[in-house]
Structure 1
């Protein structure tokens, strides 16, 4: 199936992370995909750091469900994730897939990203129950 990573590609490279990087996690709850988290930790060699981490990070992971709030709340969370994010760092927003409890429509993620000054570059099947939206900061100039 297109967009679904094979088990051979579960080394974190599909998320654009590599050994030594620090990933900050927002929105952790008991429904997150632990295999996806383990993949990210294995790829970087570090445990994910929580929302209270206040040093520089290379990437951010945001778990977001419909019940977590509206598009304005998602925008606020995206903005919060930028606080410690290194210039050029990636943000991944993980939302439940269509048909799963808590599903968030892609236009809502895109609207929140634009408002937060981010750009959605791709969407993947991140895990069995989670879609992933890759966000980057807008380029300088245009």
Structure 2
């Protein structure tokens, strides 16, 4: 594998550069492990932004008979649209995991596989709900 493909994002940590790197990693992962293609396409490549991918992951992880995936997705989309700092915080969280966790070799790993990262992003959405006065929904999340 090309050493550059695993290069840390370095100075180019802006929104677009991070999402571009995530999509590049996702495409390479599908080539390397075709059996994960559906997961990677649904979780990353079908989305226009990190926020959209995180909203999808949030809704998939928390959906149940009591709360539909669609409703959870609408909540997450509203949170990311209303407060741009949520997406920026998610990027900072993602880069922190990438930089500090020796088990993390690609930015796609925390998004797709790491429960702690996913829980942190769910907490951020719950906190947004709390600040909106939607306390019961925040408790649900």
Q: Fold match, TM over 0.5?
A: no
- Which TM-score applies when normalising by structure 1? 0.25
Q: Point out the structure with the larger helix share.
A: 2
Q: Point out the structure with the larger strand share.
A: 1
Higher RCO, 1 vs 2 (CA within 8 Å, ≥6 residues apart): 1
Q: Which has the greater radius of gyration? A: 2
